[in-house]
Structures are given as C-alpha cells and as structure tokens.
C-alpha cells in the first residue's frame, strides 16, 4: 500500500509544478537566464578597454609600442594626450580607463642605458579592473622591450613571471559557472521545497495529510523528490551551457562532479525542509530563504568575494555556509580536474551538514497543528 | 464503547481559554451535532478529536484510541474535513479524489458505493480544477475526499458554512445517507436550524458545553410560553415590545417575532390586546418552542 500511495503523492507534486507557470519559470527557465546574465553581463574579463597615451618621446619605437598594445585585443586606443593635465579630464569624461605615459628619449635611453621610464596611470574607481589593466600593460611593455633589446635586466634584477594557473586566459566563466550553479541549486531546492511544504500548511491540506496514514517522512520526501529531479536537470544544463557557451573546460571526473552536485542537492533540500518546519506561511519561508540562504550564498561562499580577503569573523562565518564547501569542491573538480581525495574534506563537511539539518527537521517536524 | 469519548478536556491559547472541562460522548452510528456561535471553541474541540491538537488537560478517545498517545493508529480510521477548503485547487475533481484515495491506500472504485451519492453530483465537473468549483460543489468534493477511505468516524468542521441554502440541504441529505451506511458522524455548525438534522446535539459557548440533548429534548427545555407575532415591519417595534411587563424575551425569528412570557395566563388573544394597546396591529399565534428558541434563550442567558 505504501508504495502506491507514495507514488501517487509524487505524481501529485509533479502536477503542482507543471501546472504553475510561475514555478515552472523559476525552476527551469530562470537558471538558464541567470547563467547567461552572469556570463555576458557580469564579466571580469577585460576586452577593449579604452586607453590614451601621453608620449614625451614620440619616436618610431614608441609608436610601435602603442600599436602593439592596441593590437593586443585588450585595449582600444583613444588617442594621444598633449599634457599631464589632460589625464584627469579623460578619466572624468570616462574616455579612458588607463593612460600610458612614456618618458622622453625612450628608445635612446633604452639603447644606451638599457633603462627607460614609463608610467601607467589607471582610473581606480573600479580597483579590480584597474589593477588588471595595469598588469596587462606592463606585460605588453616588458615583452615588447625584451623583443627589441634582448633580455635587458636579467643580470640586475630578479625577473618575475606570473602565470594564472588553471585559468591562464582569466576566463570569468571559471568563477561564475560554479557560482551560478550553487545559487540555482539553493534557489530551486532549498527555497522551492520550503515554499511548497509551507504552502500545504497555508492551504490547510497539511491537516488532511497529517490525518492520513501517510507517515511524516513520506509527506516530506514525496514533496521533495520532484525537486531533486529538477535540480539535477539544472546541474546538467548548467554544465552543458558552461561547456558549450562559455568554453569552460571539464577537466575533472564527470561522475565525481555529478556525485558531489547530488550531495549538495540533498544538503540544500534538507535545509529547505528545516526552513519549512520553522515557518508557518509561504511568506515566512520565502523570507528565511532569502536572508538565510541567498545572501550568504552570494556574499560568503566565495562566489563573488574571495574568502581570503574577508575579515576573520566573516571567514569563520563562511565555514558554516553550505555553499562555500560545494563551491570549493566544484572548482577543485571542474577546473583543477582533481580526484576524490582532494574534495574529501568538502564532501565530509557536506554530509555532516546534511545529517544535522535532517536531524533537526525530524525533531522540529510537527505531526500536529499548533 | 462510545465512538468518541471526551473527558474533562481543556485547552488554552495563551490567556484565552478555548475549552474548559468539556465532556461528551458520541455513540457509534450516531449523527452528533456540535452547535455554537463563532469563537465558541468548536474548531479547537474538533481538531483535538481529529488528533491535530494537543489538549492542555483531560483526554479524548476515538474508537477507544487515545488521540494523543495513539494518534498513529487512529489516523486513517477517521475521516476529517476541515473548516477551510483544503483540497488542491490546481488539481481537477477527479485528480483530487484519486489522490486522497491513493494516500489512504484505496481506490475510488473500491468505495464507490459509499461516495456515489456525492460523486453523482460532481460527475459533470470531474475535469474541472477544484479551485473553480462553486462553494457548495467544493464542500461536496471535500466530503467525498474525506469519505473515500471508508472511515469509521467522520469528523466535519462547519461543512455548511459559506454554502447556499440548496447546497446546505443537499449536504445534509448526503450526511444522512452516509450515516445510514453505519458511519458515526461528528459535525459542527454555527447554524442553529441545522440542529434538527442531528440525533443529538451539544450546545457549546465560550468553551463550555451548555447541555447535550436531542433536538426535541432541547425544545422541551424551553421554560416559557411562546407566541409568534406577525405584523408588517414588526422589527421596528421590537424595543417597545421588550419593554412590556408580560414580555420575558422577544426576538425576530424569520418573518415573525417570537414572544416569550412567564405568565401562564396569557393566550394569543390577550397578547393581541396588549400589543394593540401600544399601537401594534398584529396576528398572534401560540406555538411550541423549537430547539432554536431554546438556544437563543440559553445563549442570551449566559
């Protein structure tokens, strides 16, 4: 009997989802849109940044240098400036993000003294972009001078060659695809399940379900199973879109990736169930989900702000944020292509969290009304 | 063994006493009414009996099972229909029925004979989403869903509230059919005229049971001589009538005014004279008190 009544319950839940256009939009269409928005709008890559040049040398070589920078693909040449005073003007007008100042007798000094001056001035009202731009220009200038005058300073100085391992091209998909996945899974599983369970309370149908032979776990599991399916579909769609649209390499083991994702889906579900046991109405469930789940997911998981840069207190706080562990595991597997032993800690933490949330939910689940 | 046995039940919400020391006993196969105004504690009592609320004191047993300690065994044996419409509005009539049959581990076909009376009326709308049904149809569907697993006891919380007069009558007819199948029915209502439909009635007010009796028994407990007064716009004179010495109590009852007097000397003629003396030209008839008269007397007494 339990078998058929349980199946019956799950079928009903699917009907709820597929008959409600809004729910359907949230669980199936929104993830795709969100990924596209993060991918195309919020991008940390720099392409075609405007720059200007204040050239005190104005010789053949410096012209070649400007050409080299302009043809790098990162920069878009906006013209020459006539005086130092104009720099502020172009920044304020937004005409340029960066100004390259080349000292006088640039090529002559390089040739004779093997040492010449240039300065990079950036508009640091957006500090991340500014520092990335500055380092790009320095890189180009260095390789340019090396090319023309040989390795100039190898005797005098230590030469630093930085490489951005695992993401040499600074492709921002590496950051937002895992991040979006975390966000979507939180939204679809934790928030939608907590809302769908509290909806039954609000409608009064929970009363009837309670006064039926269905066991509480059957009610809860029956309600969340459709969301497991939907969340898993989302994982597949996001990975596929990351691979095809955003050229994210899939370096790790696919099975491991899906396994860890499934674990996080369970974790998010158990959190959603816990929220539903704590809230009496859909509005409360929505509110808790928003403030207790979405904000920490965005702010404290390392999705947007690096955890290492946070104040100590927030770093500790981030330790209890489920998304932080998933994000970390996701990056390790997807981008570094590491195996299971490298995400063991994350997996253990997520399993522990799931058990705690389920335990609390069982304790808090009310077999009666209040 | 009574089907429902409630002993010294009490329940408070903070400072508010919802039930105090409630006792009642419902026999197997009985149609038992719980009648009282809004806020009397009907829903609280019903929810405790339906295992959905914990009492603060006392206990309730349904089919011999304690509603607190044996709630698991009890759930599934009872059919419960809450006061608010609690079905899935986005599922059709048919799907709701199948769903509730399913969670009780049965099928609509298996218990068709039990619900066929109700189902017959719903049949034309079986593919309509439950949310788009009329109030009466919704209640009939909810009744079918509560019945679908052939419960031994059916507990209904104000099934006729918000339903038109015709549908109310139809619902009561259905309840009688269900009762004839041997199912014990415990039903609450705020409509006093519905008391007549029940075998026995408990009158509840402010969380206390004022009395339990058959509808006729209650009617006989009315302590005064009662007259029905008919006149056009009689309600305009009710204040003046209440001030009369002979008048114990007077209230509008449908189109007439019910006039109760303590004095056994009064008859229809003498009362007509009295009314004439204060300028009311009315037709007066002596009548037997009904259960509603008793309720009005009881409820205004307290």
How high is the ipTM of this complex? 0.82
Q: What is the mean pLDDT of residues B182-201?
A: 93
In this complex, do B84 and A204 lie within 8 Å of one another by their Cβ atoms?
yes
- Lowest-confidence region among A349-353, B62-66, B164-168: B164-168
Contacts of B82 in chain A (CB under 8 A): 204, 207-208
Kindly report the nearest CA distance between residue B252 and chain A, in angstroms.
37
Q: What is the mean pLDDT of residues B85-91?
A: 90
> Tell me, what's the pLDDT at A170?
63
What average pLDDT is seen over chain A? Answer: 85
Q: What is the mean pLDDT of residues A54-80?
A: 89
Q: Which domains can be identified in chain A, with CATH numbers?
A: 2-41 (no CATH), 49-165 (3.40.1710.10), 173-369 (no CATH)
Q: What is the mean pLDDT of residues B123-138?
A: 91
> Tell me, what's the pLDDT at A45?
64
Kindly report the nearest CA distance between residue A366 and chain B, in angstroms.
10
Contacts of A208 in chain B (CB under 8 A): 80, 82, 86, 100, 145-146
In this complex, do B145 and A210 lie within 8 Å of one another by their Cβ atoms?
no
B50 touching chain A per CB within 8 A: yes
Percent of chain B residues past pLDDT 90, beyond the cut: 54
Contacts of A24 in chain B (CB under 8 A): none
> Tell me, what's the pLDDT at A44?
59
The DSSP code sequence of chain B is --SEEEEEEEEEETTEEEEEEEEEEE-TT-EEEEE--TTSSHHHHHHHHTTSS--SEEEEEETTEETTTTHHHHTTTEEEE-SS--S-TTSBHHHHHHHHHHHTT--TTTTHHHHHHHHHHHGGGTTSBGGGS-HHHHHHHHHHHHHTT--SEEEEESTTTT--HHHHHHHHHHHHHHHHTT-EEEEEES-GGGGGGSSEEEEEETTEEEEEE-HHHHHHT--SEEEEEE-TTGGGGHHHHHTSTT-SEEEEETTEEEEEES-TT--HHHHHHHHHHTT---EEEEE---HHHHHHHHHHH-
Q: Classify A70 as helix, strand or coil.
A: helix
> Tell me, what's the pLDDT at B189?
93
> Tell me, what's the pLDDT at A236?
93
Number of other CB atoms surrounding residue A207 within 10 Å: 23
Contacts of B54 in chain A (CB under 8 A): 368
For residue A42, name the pLDDT band (cuts at 50, 70, 90). Answer: low
Indicate if the pLDDT at residue B243 is higher than 70.
yes
Residues in chain A whose Cβ is within 8 Å of chain B: 1-2, 4-5, 8-9, 12, 15-16, 19-20, 203-205, 207-214, 367-369
Asked if residues A9 and B102 have their Cβ atoms less than 8 Å apart, the reply is yes
Task: Tell me the residues of chain B between 82 and 111 that have a Cβ less than 8 Å away from chain A.
Answer: 82, 84-91, 95, 98-100, 102-105
- pLDDT one-digit tens code per residue, A143-181: 888 887 765 554 444 556 667 676 666 667 777 888 888
Residue A222 DSSP code: H
> Tell me, what's the pLDDT at B105?
84
> Tell me, what's the pLDDT at A1?
42
Beta-carbon contacts below 8 Å between A and B: 78
* B96 or B298: which leads in pLDDT: B96
For residue B4, name the pLDDT band (cuts at 50, 70, 90). Answer: very high
Contacts of A360 (CB under 8 A, 6+ apart): A274, A277
pTM of the complete model: 0.78
> Tell me, what's the pLDDT at B61?
95
- pLDDT one-digit tens code per residue, A274-305: 999 999 899 999 999 888 778 888 888 887 77
- Lowest-confidence region among A107-111, A353-357, B182-186: A107-111
Q: What is the mean pLDDT of residues A8-17?
A: 90
Number of other CB atoms surrounding residue B296 within 10 Å: 19
> Tell me, what's the pLDDT at A129?
80
Indicate if the pLDDT at residue B49 is higher than 90.
yes
Number of other CB atoms surrounding residue A171 within 10 Å: 19
In this complex, do A205 and B47 lie within 8 Å of one another by their Cβ atoms?
no
Contacts of A200 in chain B (CB under 8 A): none
Q: What is the mean pLDDT of residues B244-272?
A: 87
> Tell me, what's the pLDDT at A80?
92
Which chain B residue is nearest to residue A11, measuring alpha carbons?
B99
> Tell me, what's the pLDDT at A2?
46
- pLDDT one-digit tens code per residue, A233-251: 999 999 999 889 888 888 8
Indicate if the pLDDT at residue B24 is higher than 90.
yes
The residue among A31, A24, A61, A50 whose CA lies nearest residue A147 is A61
> Tell me, what's the pLDDT at A162?
66
* A265 or A74: which leads in pLDDT: A265
Contacts of A4 in chain B (CB under 8 A): 102, 105
Kindly report the nearest CA distance between residue A224 and chain B, in angstroms.
17
């Amino acid at each position: 009997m339990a078998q058929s009544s349980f199946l019956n319950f799950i079928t009903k839940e699917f009907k709820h989802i597929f008959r409600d256009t809004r729910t359907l939009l949230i669980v199936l269409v929104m993830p795709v849109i969100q990924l596209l928005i993060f991918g195309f709008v919020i991008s940390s890559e720099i392409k075609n940044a405007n720059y200007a040049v204040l050239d005190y040398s104005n010789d053949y070589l410096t012209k070649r240098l400007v050409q080299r920078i302009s043809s790098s693909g990162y920069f878009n040449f906006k013209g020459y400036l006539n005086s130092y005073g104009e720099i502020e003007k172009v920044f304020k007008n937004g005409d340029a993000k960066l100004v390259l100042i080349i000292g006088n007798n640039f090529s002559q000094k390089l040739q004779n003294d093997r040492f010449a001056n240039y300065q990079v001035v950036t508009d640091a009202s957006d500090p991340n972009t500014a520092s990335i731009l500055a380092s790009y220009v320095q890189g180009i200038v260095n390789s340019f001078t090396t090319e023309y005058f040989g390795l100039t300073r190898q005797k005098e100085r230590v030469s630093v060659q930085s490489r951005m391992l695992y993401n040499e091209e600074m492709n921002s998909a590496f950051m937002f695809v895992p991040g979006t996945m975390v966000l979507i899974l939180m939204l679809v599983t934790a928030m939608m399940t907590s809302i769908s369970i509290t909806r039954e309370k609000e409608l009064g149908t929970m009363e009837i379900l309670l006064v039926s032979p269905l066991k509480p776990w059957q009610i809860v599991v029956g309600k969340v199973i459709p969301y497991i399916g939907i969340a898993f579909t989302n994982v597949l769609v996001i990975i596929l879109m990351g691979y095809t649209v955003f050229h994210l390499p899939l370096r790790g083991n696919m099975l491991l990736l899906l396994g860890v994702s499934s674990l996080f889906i369970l974790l998010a579900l158990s959190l959603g169930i816990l929220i539903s046991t704590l809230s009496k109405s859909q509005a409360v469930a929505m509110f808790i989900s928003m403030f207790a789940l979405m904000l920490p997911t965005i702010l404290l998981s390392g999705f947007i702000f690096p955890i290492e840069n946070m104040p100590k207190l927030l770093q500790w706080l981030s330790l209890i944020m489920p998304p932080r562990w998933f994000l970390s595991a996701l990056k390790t597997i997807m981008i570094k292509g590491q195996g299971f032993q490298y995400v063991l800690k994350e997996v253990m933490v997520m399993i522990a969290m799931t058990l705690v949330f389920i335990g609390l939910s069982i304790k808090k689940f009310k077999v009666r009304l209040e | 063994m009574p089907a429902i046995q409630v002993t010294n039940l009490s329940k408070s919400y903070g400072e508010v006493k919802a039930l105090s020391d409630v006792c009642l006993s419902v026999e197997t196969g009985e149609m038992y009414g719980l009648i009282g105004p809004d806020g009397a504690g009907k829903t609280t009592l019903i929810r405790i009996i339906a295992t959905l609320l914990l009492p603060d004191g006392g206990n309730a047993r349904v089919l011999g099972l304690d509603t607190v300690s044996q709630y698991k065994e009890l759930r599934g044996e009872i059919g419960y229909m809450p006061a608010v419409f609690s079905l899935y509005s986005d599922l059709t009539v048919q799907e709701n029925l199948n769903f509730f049959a399913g969670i009780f581990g049965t099928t609509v076909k298996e218990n068709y004979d039990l619900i066929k009376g109700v189902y017959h009326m719903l049949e034309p709308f079986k593919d309509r989403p439950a949310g788009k049904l009329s109030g009466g149809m919704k209640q009939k569907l909810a009744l079918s869903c509560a019945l679908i697993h052939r419960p031994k006891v059916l507990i209904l919380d104000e099934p006729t509230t918000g339903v038109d007069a015709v549908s109310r009558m139809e619902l009561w007819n259905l309840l009688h059919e269900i009762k004839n199948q041997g199912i014990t029915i415990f039903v609450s209502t705020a409509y006093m005229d519905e008391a007549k439909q029940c075998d026995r009635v408990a009158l509840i007010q402010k969380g206390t049971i004022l009395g339990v009796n058959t509808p006729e028994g209650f009617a006989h407990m009315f302590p005064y001589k009662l007259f029905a007064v008919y006149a056009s716009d009689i309600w305009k004179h009710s204040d003046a009538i209440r001030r009369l010495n002979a008048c114990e109590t007077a209230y509008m009852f449908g189109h007439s005014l019910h006039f109760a007097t303590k004095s056994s000397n009064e008859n229809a003629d003498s009362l007509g004279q009295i009314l004439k003396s204060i300028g009311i030209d009315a037709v007066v008839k002596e009548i037997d008190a009904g259960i509603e008269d008793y309720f009005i007397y009881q409820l205004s007494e307290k």
